[in-house]
Chain A
Amino acid sequence: MSDLPLSLRHVVKRFPGTPPVTAVAGIDLDVTHGEILGLLGPNGAGKSTTIGIITTRVRPTEGAVAVFGVDAVADPATVKGTLGVVQQANTLDRRLTLWENLYYHCRYFGLGRGAARRRSDELLDRFRLADRRDAMPPQISGGMAQRLQIARAVAHDPALLLLDEPTAGLDPQSRIALWELVTELRADGMTVLVSTHYMEEADALCDRVAIIDHGRILVVDTPDALKRDHGDGVVIDVGLTAPADAAVRAAVADVPGVRVVDDLPATGHDGTTQAGLRLSAASTEGTVGTLVAAVTPHATLRDLRVHETTLESVFIALTGRDLRE
């Protein structure tokens, strides 16, 4: 067996029920030493189940999971010893202070008293939580809680860090701060698997991205290679002063070569709210002018942004669906 940080072979998970639900439908994936691999897909694509299987918490129906060559099904205790895990929800121990959350975590992993104390002090400093060391988890912000969860996950110096939607619900600033932290951890030699449904996150943070949908991995490659090979045209964001009504949609859909994908995301990259439509088009040539002419009678145009191929357009090209669906 290989001693890659992570190797999944034909992994399937069916949850019993009527009808049974196939959350993971045959996944093969190798994660190599020292990389940040992103599992990018919409909600319900099978990301959390996949991470659950790697953490030994979900038993695969079929297939093999090896973490550093150790079988996760046969020897969960050893595998857990090599993993750091950040769950999607806040699972901090409400009955312990921030410092104690780290200290006792270290003790669960067999560190002695002195080593656990030193490690907890050091991590609170490094994750900029030292001034709240005696606070209880309900008293801190979501961004701080997430930093503490990551600090706790890496406290026993795991070789493979698993992050399940680590920035869901965080404000844009906290999100970027978190990416920096994860990048630093990788620089320390940690291998990272991160699941996300934010394509910006996958693009900014990951060395390689696995696009997952309906429990299958469609493609794994670097963000640049994915955009080169699967990107299909451009994405045009049409900003309007008011949410698009049926007349605007109809007018836009009539423009040749243009397809309406969705409303603009409620919150933009910079945290502002915006009204308008996201369109995909083969190219901007000849399209933009027609588009402006088509929209103007029905709505007031605020701005128009053309994005070169993004991972989102890669996802649309591969699945025909939007990531946020």
Chain B
Amino acid sequence: MSDRPAPTTPGVLPVLHGLALRDLRVLRRDWAEFLTRTLMQPLLFIFVFAFVFPRIGQTVGAGVAGDAGFATVLVPGLVAIAVLFQGITAIALPLSTELGDTREIEDRVMAPVHVNVVAVEKVLFAATQAIVAGLVVLPILLLVPDTPVRLGAGDPLLALLVIPGAALLSGAIGLALGVTVAPRQIGLMFSVVILPLTFLGAVYYPWAALDAIPWLRTLVLVNPLVYVSEGLRAVLTPDVPTMSPWVIVTVLYGYTGVLLAYALRGFARRTLS
């Protein structure tokens, strides 16, 4: 046996598959956490703003929503939140720990592929979770409101570009945060990154409504959630005016590319020396 040949490498796809199976196993073990994480925020929001407020006579969003109604504006925005934050939390939280104290990532880094494959698998898996999160949230958002939600069918080609783009963007943000933020800073990350993204992400109003505050209208363009919200609005509620769909698509993929390049460099820096 002393001269046995070195085994040949299995190639990228089987390894990618193995890595995804592992993540799926962990997700299946934590499915309740997945559901809670996905549903809680959108559910509370739609309940308070589209069920409680109309019943107690509070009006909110009348101006921005126009004919469509506030619930109609809110639904794509809240799906956008579900998609974006599912992708981010699916990677950033566990990866931060795995790269930190426990070094659990080691075994996967030693898989017979370039380390980038390990990172890209994380993004693809998180993107898939993000899409599932959107699909889980959407029907619930349609059931809760006391006022009608007017869904429409947007351009199918646009849907095919926006949905994966939004999901990949959320995975790329998650990877970028996961390789940057130390485990004990995760709480801070929520205050510094997640909250501003949410509140200034064109979730509760269409971006165009910010005409009234021009400086904010320009400032929020750095927020990736704006493009996810606007993109999903163009797909789900085409009656509500949005920014140009092609701008949305270009920025979704451009942002993904830039963040991915940054995050892969960071991943290599954290795992190689």
Contacts and interface: CB of A to CB of B under 8 A. Distances in A.
Interface residues of B, number: 38
A213 B17 CA distance: 42
A76 B114 contact: yes
A96 B113 contact: no
B104 A94 contact: yes
Interface in A54-72: 55-59, 67-68, 70
B106 to A, nearest CB: 4
A127 interface: no
Contact of A108 (B8, B25, B107): B107
B9 A78 contact: yes
A222 to B, nearest CB: 18
B247 interface: no
B68 interface: no
B55 interface: no
B21 to A, nearest CB: 6
Contacts of B221: none
Contacts of B113: 77, 80
A57 B7 contact: no
B2 interface: yes
A95 B273 contact: no
Question: What DSSP secondary structure best describes chain B's contact surface?
Answer: loop
B107 A110 contact: no
Nearest to B102: A94
Given A157-B7, A189-B4, A55 B25 contact: no
Contacts of A96: 22, 25-26
Contacts of B17: 107
A104 interface: yes
Interface in B87-110: 94, 102-110
Interface in A80-124: 80-83, 85, 87, 89-96, 100-101, 104-110
Nearest to A23: B273
Interface string A171-199: 00000000000000000110000000000
A33 interface: yes
Interface residues of A, number: 45
Given A58-B272, A91-B106, A91-B107, A109 B2 contact: no
Contacts of B21: 104, 107
A80 B110 contact: yes
Given A77-B113, A107-B17, A110-B10, A188 B108 contact: no
Question: What DSSP secondary structure best describes chain A's contact surface?
Answer: loop
B211 interface: no
Interface in B9-34: 9-11, 14-15, 17-19, 21-22, 25-26, 29
B150 to A, nearest CB: 42
Contacts of A57: 109, 271-273
Given A58-B273, A95-B26, A159-B4, A110 B106 contact: no
A192 B5 CA distance: 16
Nearest to B112: A81
Nearest to B94: A95
Interface string B101-140: 0111111111111100000000000000000000000000
A156 B15 CA distance: 13
A34 interface: yes
Given A158-B7, A189-B4, 16 more contacts: A57-B109, A57-B273, A70-B6, A77-B9, A80-B9, A81-B6, A85-B106, A91-B104, A95-B104, A96-B26, A104-B25, A107-B14, A108-B18, A110-B9, A110-B11, A157-B7
Interface of B: 1-11, 14-15, 17-19, 21-22, 25-26, 29, 94, 102-114, 271-273
3 closest A-B pairs by beta carbon, nearest first, are: A110-B10, A189-B1, A107-B18
22 contacts: A34-B2, A52-B273, A57-B272, A57-B273, A77-B112, A78-B8, A80-B112, A82-B6, A83-B110, A91-B105, A92-B107, A96-B26, A104-B21, A104-B25, A108-B19, A109-B18, A110-B9, A110-B11, A157-B7, A158-B7, A159-B4, A159-B6
